[in-house]
Amino acid sequence: MLASLDEQARAILAKNDRGGFTIPTARLYPFQWNWDSVFIALGLATMDDDRAWRELEMLTEGQAHDGMIPSIIFRKDDADYFPGPNVWQTRNGAIKGTGISQPPVLASTVAHFVKAQGDNGLERAKALFPKMLEWHRWWHDYRTPEGVGVVCTVHPWETGRDNCPDWKIGLLNMEIDPNLEAYQRKDIEHADPAERPSQEEYDKYISIVKFGRDNGWDQRLLTEKGPFLMADPGIFFILLRADRDLLWLAQKLGADEAEAEIAAWIKHAEAGVDYFWNDELGAFCARDVRSGVFSDGFSNASALCFYADVGSAEQRRKTLAHMSRISTKTQYGQSSWDPDAPLFESQRYWCGPLWCQMNYMIAQGLREQGEAEFAEKMRQDLRKVIELSGFYECFDPISGAGCIGRDFSWTAALWLAWAGPSSVQSSAA
């Protein structure tokens, strides 16, 4: 008999377990990834709280001395992956990692666990608290350039939305390093090149890595003088929510000395919300910091204003109007890029596909902000697309076809924690 989807999801998480941490999928992504692990922990918690905490603890083992938690933790090298530890050459942590970070969803999941588990969770949260505090401080300090006032990013990979058309302006404004060494991509050996970033984009991604490496991963220098500097509504909204959750944790844990600092970050971020508002488009958009130019499309990160609980009534209304329009163009959930925008491609990674973790966060925000019906539709859409195609990395939002990696951990985890009929959310709905 065919295993049920719940059983398949559990089997994927077990198969991708590497001893206390979970890889996103074998071969294509053979290490621990930062935000992947945080969503994976939500799925693990449906089976085993202890293992879920372990996932998060192992993620923080990769923290660098300056406080950054890298996008990838390289416990050992893997010839199947490029760019691996020999390309990044970081030397500023107990374990090697990349020289960039990823969206800081950690504190929000820790707060969620504490709420769900009560005192049992509190001890584990207490040990993680100083590490999360340092990491948030790193964003507010090292990734907030002089005179800009909002948190920024130095690399499209740091946003987790790797080849989204949002980064087009920032990439256009930079050169490929003329001394870039020859290298061999691995991603196009494991996945269809038509679904992956172009060669020119890739050369630019690696040029930024070279800049960081040539400058000893001096993060302040990378932010101030690096080749790429954009502000991402995804990182901004996720960090703002995570700061609020961190403040809640500080209060819960009696970490009084941290409260004023976190409250100041929140206040500062709230004052920066309009930096992202593209009036012409009527949406929160990515922005090239040095030229001030806005990205010209509605992305799934634009929809995270609800998750961060920000935006005026008018801004929220306009955001919802875009989302409703997008829903009429897709069959399944919110696409990563606007189907009406010129660079939309339904199967190319962040140029169109539906991503489960983004839909989860968007829907969570909508539900909290009085849009429960819309949120529930997104949840049902994810359920349907997984029933149709299985546990892929992402999905064509129009046909529902699965794209890129198979047996994908965060898809399996969010099925168990959110989209599937046996999830807690289902019993609450």
* Part of the chain binding ligand GLC (CB under 6 A), chosen from 27-35, 84-92, 328-336, 414-422: 27-35
CB 212 within 8 A of CB 226: yes
Beta carbons within 10 angstroms of residue 94's beta carbon: 10
> Closest separation between CB of residue 51 and ligand GLC, Å?
19
Please report, for residues 114, 169, 173, 226, 287, the alpha-carbon distance to residue 291 in angstroms, rounded to integers and kept in the order given: 42, 9, 9, 14, 9
Q: In a 3-state reduction of DSSP, which class is residue 301?
A: coil
Query: Is 69 in contact with 37 (CB distance < 8 Å)?
Result: no
CB of residue 162 to ligand GLC, shortest distance in Å: 4
d(CA 346, CA 404): 12
Choices 28-36, 46-54, 252-260, 366-374 (CB under 6 A): range interacting with ligand GLC = 28-36
State in angstroms the smallest separation of the CB of 84 from ligand GLC.
14
CB of 258 or CB of 286, closer to ligand GLC? 286
Q: Which of residues 197-236 bind ligand GLC (CB under 6 A)?
A: none
Among the listed residues 134, 296, 393, 396, the single catalytic one is: 393
Does residue number 24 form part of the binding site for ligand GLC (CB under 6 A)?
yes
Q: Which stretch binds ligand GLC (CB under 6 A): 29-37, 83-91, 273-281, 323-331?
A: 29-37
Binding characters for ligand GLC, 104-143, by CB under 6 A (x = yes): ----------------------------------------
Determine, following the binding rule CB under 6 A, whether residue 36 of this chain makes contact with ligand GLC.
yes
- Is 402 a residue that touches ligand GLC (CB under 6 A)? no
Side-chain-side CA neighbours of 162 within 13 Å: the count stands at: 15
DSSP string, 252-270: HHT-HHHHHHHHHHHHHHH
CA distance 407 to 403: 11
Alpha-carbon torsion (322, 326, 328, 331), positive or negative: negative
Spatial separation of the C-alpha atoms in residues 402 and 88, rounded to whole Å: 31
Q: How far, in Å, CA of 189 to CA of 184, rounded?
A: 10
Clarify whether 393 is annotated catalytic: yes
R_g (Cα) of the chain, nearest Å: 20
Residue 33 lies near ligand GLC (rule: CB under 6 A): yes
The answer to whether 265 contacts ligand GLC (rule: CB under 6 A) is no
Between residues 160 and 352, which has the closer beta carbon with respect to ligand GLC? 160
| Contacting residue, 160, 233, 333, 352, with ligand GLC by CB under 6 A | 160
234 in helix, strand or coil? helix
360: contact with ligand GLC by CB under 6 A: no
Q: Is 261 in the site for ligand GLC (CB under 6 A)?
A: no
Number of residues in contact with ligand GLC, rule: CB under 6 A? 7
Instruction: Return the range that interacts with ligand GLC (CB under 6 A); candidates 31-39, 275-283, 305-313, 322-330.
Output: 31-39
Q: What is the per-residue binding string for ligand GLC in 162-191, x denoting contact by CB under 6 A? A: x-----------------------------
Half-sphere exposure of 386 (CA within 13 A, CB side): 29
From the CB of residue 362, how many other CB atoms can be counted at a distance below 10 Å? Answer: 26
Contact residues toward ligand GLC (CB under 6 A) are 24, 29, 33, 35-36, 160, 162
Active site residues: 162, 393
